[in-house]
Amino acid sequence: MKGSDAMYLSVLGTAQRICGEALVPNSKYHAHRALILASLAPGTSRITGLTDARHVHYTVEMLRRLGTRIEIDGGTYVVHGGPYRPARQDISAGSSGTTLYFMVGLAALGSKDVTVTGQKYFQRRPIGPLLAALRQMGLDVDSPTDCPPIKVRAKAPTGGEVHIAGTLSQWISGLLLLAPFASHPTAVVVDGTLNERTYLHLTVQMMRRFGLRIDVSEDWHRFEIPPGQQAVPTDMRIPPDIGSAAFGLAAAALHPADLLLHGLQTVTSAGADHPEADFLDVAASMGLPMKYDAAHDAVRVRHDGVSLQPAEIDCRTVPDMLPILSVMAAGADGESIFRNVAHVRLKESDRVAAMLQLNSMGAEVRISGSDLRVRGSARLTGADLSSFNDHRVLMSLAVAASAAEGLSTLTYPNAYRISYPEFLKAMNSFGLSMQVQDGKAARRPASRGTRPRQGRTPALDIEAAARVTAPDWVRRWAAERPARTAVVDGRPQDTGHLTWAELDAGADRIAAMLLDLGVRAGDRVAFQLPNWSEFVLLTVAALRIGAVAAPIMPIFREREVAFALHRSGAAVVVVPEEFRGRHYAAELSGILAAGSDPDYELAVRHVLVIGAAAPPLPVRDRGVRWHGWEQELAETPVDRERIDAAAPDAQVPAQLLFTSGTTGEPKGVLHRHSTLSRAAAMQARQLGLGGGDAIFVPSPLAHQTGFLYGMWLSFVLGTPQILQSVWDPVRALNMLRAWQGTFVQAATPFLDDLVKAVEAGSPAPRSLRIFVNTGAAVPRHLSERATRVLDAAVCGAFGTTETCLGAVSTPGDDPALVWGTDGQLLPGVQARIVSDDGHPLPAGTEGNFELLSPTLFEGYLDRPDLTKEAFTDDGWYRTGDLATLDDAGYLRITGRVRDVINRGGEKIPVAEIEQLLYRHPKVDDVALAAMPDPRLGERACAFVVPAGTPPTLRELTDYLDRCRVAKHYWPERLELLSEIPRNPVGKVQKFLLRDQARQLAGKARAAEDRSPS
Summarize the annotated binding site for 3-phosphoshikimate as residue ranges: 28, 33, 169-170, 320, 347
**Measured between alpha carbons, how far is 132 from 142 in angstroms, rounded to an integer?**
10
- What is the structure's pLDDT at 619? 46
Q: How far apart are the C-alpha atoms of 466 and 469, rounded to whole Å?
A: 8
CB 229 within 8 A of CB 213: yes
Q: Which residues, in sequence order, are CB contacts of 1013 under 8 Å at separation 6+?
A: none
Spell out the alpha helix ranges (H) of 213-277. Answer: 242-254
How crowded is residue 488: how many other Cβ atoms within 10 Å of its Cβ? 28
The annotation places the binding site for phosphoenolpyruvate at 28, 97, 125, 170, 351, 392
What residues are designated binding site? 28, 33, 97, 125, 169-170, 320, 347, 351, 392
**DSSP letter for each residue of 810-859:** -TTS-HHHHHHSS-EEPTT-EEEEE-TTS-B--TT--EEEEEE-TT---E
159 burial type by CB count under 10 A (0-12 exposed, 13-18 middle, 19+ buried): buried
CA distances from 280 to 265, 321, 335 (A): 12, 11, 20
Q: How far apart are CA 647 and CA 520, in angstroms?
A: 11
Residue 730 CB burial class (10 angstroms; 0-12, 13-18, ≥19):
middle
Give the three-class secondary structure for 732: helix
Q: Is 504 a catalytic residue?
A: no
CA distance 192 to 172: 13
- The rounded distance, in Å, linking the Cα atoms of 198 and 195 is 9
Query: 383 burial class (0-12, 13-18, 19+ CB within 10 angstroms)?
Result: buried
Contact present, 164 and 116 (Cβ < 8 Å):
no
Q: What is the mean pLDDT of each run of 10 residues along the chain (1013 residues)?
A: 64 92 94 97 96 92 96 96 94 91 96 91 81 96 91 96 93 97 97 91 97 97 97 96 95 96 86 88 96 92 96 91 96 96 85 94 93 93 92 96 93 93 96 83 40 49 95 97 92 84 97 97 97 97 98 91 93 95 92 67 93 56 85 94 96 92 74 97 95 95 95 97 95 93 92 93 93 76 88 92 94 78 91 92 91 95 93 94 88 74 83 84 91 91 94 96 92 94 67 90 75 57
Which residues are CB-contacts of 505 (< 8 A; sequence separation ≥ 6)? 478
Interior CA angle at 594 toward 590 and 597, to 5°? 105
**Alpha-carbon dihedral of residues 762, 766, 772, 775, nearest 10 degrees?**
-20
Cis peptide leading into 950, omega within 30 of 0?
no
Residue 833, amino acid: I
According to DSSP, the β-strands at 743-746 and 770-773 are: parallel
Cα separation of 693 and 27, whole Å? 43
DSSP class of 269: S
Q: Could you tell me which of 241, 237, 243, 245 has the C-alpha nearest to residue 299? A: 245
Determine if the peptide bond prior to 149 is cis (ω within 30°): yes
Total Cβ atoms within 10 A of residue 165: 18
Contact 370, 341 (CB under 8 A): yes
Question: Would you say 351 and 322 are in contact if contact means Cβ atoms under 8 Å apart?
Answer: yes
Q: What angle do CA 998, 1004, 1008 make, to 5 degrees?
A: 145
The pLDDT score that the predictor gives to residue 75 is 92
What single letter denotes the amino acid at residue 440? Answer: K
- The span from the CA of 310 to the CA of 328, in Å, is 9
Determine the Cα–Cα distance for residues 204 and 666; give it in Å rounded to an integer. Answer: 83
On whether the CB atoms of residues 465 and 701 are closer than 8 A, the answer is no
Residue 74's alpha-carbon distances to 48, 78, 297, 504, in angstroms, are 9, 10, 22, 41
Q: Which amino acid is at 918?
A: Y
Name the catalytic one among 258, 293, 314, 320: 320
Show the domains of the chain with their CATH numbers.
7-23+240-442 (3.65.10.10), 28-212 (3.65.10.10), 463-883 (3.40.50.12780), 901-1010 (3.30.300.30)
CA distance 421 to 23: 12
Integer-rounded Cα radius of gyration of the chain: 35
767 within 8 A of 737, measured Cβ to Cβ:
yes
**Closest by alpha carbon to 102, among 199, 2, 232?**
199
Q: What is the structure's pLDDT at 988? A: 77
Give, in order, the Cα–Cα distances in Å from 521 to each of 525, 549, 676.
11, 11, 18
Contact 376, 332 (CB under 8 A): yes
Measured in residues, the chain has a length of 1013
pLDDT at residue number 458: 62
Residue 769 confidence (pLDDT): 95
Of 71, 152, 149, nearest to 111 (Cα)? Answer: 152
